[in-house]
Amino acid sequence: MNYEETKTLLRQYLLARIPFISINTIEKSRAIDVLKELSSELNLPIHVHSMSKGVTDIVTNDLVSDEKNIMGVLDYIGEQIKVKENATFVLTDASELGTESLVSRYLNDIVTIAEEKGGTIIVITSSPIWTNLQRLGMNVELALPDEKELYTLIKNVAAPYQGQITVEWDDNNFKEAATILLGLSEIEVRNVISSLIAKGSLLKEDLVDLKFAKDSMFSDISGLEKIDVDPTIAFGGLENLKEWLDEKKKLLAPDKKEQMMARGIKPPRGILIVGVPGCGKSLSAKAIAAKWQMPLYLLDFATVQGRYVGQSEQQLKEALETAEYVSPCILWIDEIEKGLSGASGDSGVTNRMIGQFLFWLQECKKEVFVVATANDINNLPAELLRKGRFDEMFFVDLPSEVERAEIIKLYLAKYLNVKVGDDFINQLVELSKGFAGSDIESCIREIAYQVVANNIQLTQNIFVDTFSKTVSLSKTNPEKIEKIRAWGKEHAISATKQKSSI
Ligand SMILES: Nc1ncnc2c1ncn2[C@@H]1O[C@H](COP(=O)(O)OP(=O)(O)OP(=O)(O)O)[C@@H](O)[C@H]1O
Ligand SMILES: [Mg+2]
């Protein structure tokens, strides 16, 4: 429930003099803020206990009892409730309420007295409450700030600095910041924005840093691995895929997102890239993260599989929740078939995990874009391939002549810092017939090794030698490639515009 909804409900409960109210939240101070407003509005004194201060008035902060110890304060509350009508107390530091304990039983007794005397005890906690106690009252869940609240919050934090520092952000940028910071508490958001302001400006480029701020705050990324991506990473060819991605990137702008929401259209969920080994599937996942300037997380289906009943589902759930938490992000599932081919030997688990994953894929409201790659399509479950699961399925083939030329030029520039004439490129394209992108990369890397190790001059012969020596996968295992190709043609759209020459 958001701030206003929580307030409405608490108002009702306080007016009804419900004897016990638990507010479930990790943001104590936000819950206190709601109660403070209600105390003034309803003209109802509310007293708050904390271990550090004792008992104070929620509005004036005046100390009403210096009792800090929880048992001591329960004594105090018990007495007050007997003698004062409508006494209202808030416990913010009560532990041991999760099960039957000395504290929870004592509180239980006091709540029973409160019921007779119109008193109310409110507990602010992020943990569950002992069932017997909970049954005496009501529970309210105060959620983390939603996008709207964050937008107002961020604007409020920045407002005093308008005119003093350079603020490049327009309204859309503030909205974008709100979306990015979704999942953080009010205090965390204040801290993040304040530290941006402290450097003297709010620039457009800060929004990119903001996307990465969350994952540095979140140390326990269970089930996910953060992948650092070289922002200049490039891949040759695969024009169709590139175009599709450029087109979808436009939809990431906040105004476009609003338009889609108004039309009831879901943002793009993700793609599945299948194809020949070494032709840029994994590379594409990284390139998307770099291009869209989003953090990249790797989810390994094989490692989320646990040994015990229900463990796999639980671990997958946690991993997906983490991905939502660190959103906006790219969630990369590399070689999805490996994790799904029944690694645990139990196809029931696998099926449940696919079901769980697909359900999440459809229901997830956060900005998590999934890039799944697959190598061995024979092991892919049919549910995964059904239309409408992923936005698109791309097939990556061996690079065509034009693509090979691009990849060759890319690595010549990168590893050898050379530019060569078209004639020679054409010769290398001819020599690399049947090569995967990875074959080309390793050839040119090999030449770079020789150059660095022996300080030799580059000659055409070195290239011809190295390229001719390479035995590509299409030569060692042509049947495998044929099989993947035949499948790709039928099921997926080609990632490239070119027709492969081999
Ligand atoms: N289109 C390309 N452009 C540039 N480099 C490429 C391309 N395709 C492959 N490479 C090079 O080959 C390497 C291996 O590619 P990548 O890991 O993306 O292959 P893959 O399709 O995921 O293969 P596998 O199925 O074996 O996982 C890359 O790191 C990159 O150096
Ligand atoms: Mg790969």
- What tens digit of pLDDT does each residue of 62-99 get? 999 999 999 999 999 999 999 999 999 999 998 889 99
Range in 97-106, 240-249, 285-294, 350-359 the model is least confident about? 350-359
Domain count, the chain: 4
Between CA 361 and CA 324 the distance in angstroms is 11
Tell me the CA–centroid distance for residue 468 and ligand 1, in Å.
20
Distance CA 344, CA 237 (A): 37
Domain presence at residue 370: yes
Minimum-distance ligand 1 atom for the alpha carbon of 373: 22
Residue 344: predicted pLDDT: 46
Q: Tell which of 84, 116, 141 closes a domain.
A: 141
**Which ligand is nearest the CA of 286, by number?**
1
Q: Hey, whose CA ends up nearest to atom 30 of ligand 1? A: 438
Mean pLDDT to the nearest integer, 376-397: 84
Q: Which two tokens stand for residue 378?
A: 């024979």
Which of 230, 245, 279 is the best mutation target for the ligand 1 pocket, counting ligand atoms within 8 Å of the beta carbon and taking the most?
279
* Confidence grade of residue 379 (pLDDT, cut at 50, 70, 90): confident
Place of tokens 């060692």: 476
Nearest by Cα to 31 from 181, 142, 107: 142
355 contacts 395 by C-beta, under 8 angstroms = no
Whether residue 502 is predicted with pLDDT greater than 70 in this model: the reply is: no
CA of 284 to the centre of ligand 1 (A): 8
Best-predicted range by mean pLDDT (22-26, 303-307, 344-348): 22-26
User: Is 296 within 8 Å of 229 (Cβ atoms)?
Assistant: yes
Res 55 pLDDT > 90: yes
User: Which residue in the block uniquely carries the two structure tokens 């030698």?
Assistant: 465
Region 280-304 average pLDDT: 90
Question: pLDDT tens digits, residue range 107-143?
Answer: 999 999 999 999 999 999 988 999 999 999 999 999 8
pLDDT digits (tens, 9 = 90+) for 394-414: 999 999 999 999 999 999 999
Percentage with pLDDT > 70 across the chain: 95
CATH code, domain with 370: 3.40.50.300
482: in domain:
no
Which ligand 1 atom is nearest residue 335's CA?
Answer: 27
pLDDT score at 343: 45
Q: Which atom of ligand 1 is nearest to the CA of 235?
A: 3
Looking at the DSSP bridge assignments, the partners of residue 394 are 273, 493
Same domain, 385 and 248: yes
Residue 12: domain span: 3-141
Q: pLDDT of 337-373, one tens digit each?
A: 877 765 445 567 777 888 889 999 988 888 899 999 9
What is the model's pLDDT at position 383?
81
Asked if residue 407 is part of any domain, the answer here is: yes
Q: Is residue 492 part of a domain?
A: no
Same domain flag for 323 and 345? yes
Ligand nearest to the backbone CA of 397: 1
DSSP class of 326: T
CB-side neighbour CA atoms (13 Å) of 193: 27
**21 and 131 in one domain?**
yes
| Buried/exposed 432-463: b ≥16 CB within 10 Å, e otherwise | bebbbbbbbbbbbebbbeebeeeeeeeeeeeb
Q: What is the pTM of this model?
A: 0.74
Q: Are 223 and 339 in contact (CB under 8 A)?
A: no
- Which percentage of the chain shows pLDDT scores above 90? 60
Residues 468-488 have a mean pLDDT of 85
Tell me the pLDDT band of 498, cut-offs 50, 70 and 90: low
Q: Is the pLDDT of residue 490 over 90?
A: no
CATH number at residue 470: 1.10.8
Which of the two residues, 183 and 259, has the higher pLDDT score? 259
Mean pLDDT of the residues in the chain: 89
Domain membership flag for residue 297: yes
Same domain assignment for residues 128 and 189: no
Query: Helix count (H) and strand count (E) of the chain?
Result: 22, 16
Q: Are residues 268 and 336 in the same domain?
A: yes
In three-state secondary structure terms, 284 is helix
pLDDT in the model for residue 309: 65
**Domain shared by 299 and 415, yes or no:** no
- Going by alpha carbons, the residue nearest to atom 19 of ligand 1 is 278
Q: Ligand 2 centre from 277 Cα, in Å?
A: 7
Query: Are residues 88 and 171 both part of a single domain?
Result: no
Residue 376 sits in the same domain as residue 451: no
In a domain, 486, yes or no: no
Atom of ligand 1 nearest to the CA of 284: 18
Q: Which of 232, 238, 274, 283 to mutate to test the pocket of ligand 1 (most atoms within 8 A of CB)?
A: 283
pLDDT at res. 184 = 86
Residue 85 lies in a domain: yes
Whether 285 and 429 map to the same domain: the answer is no
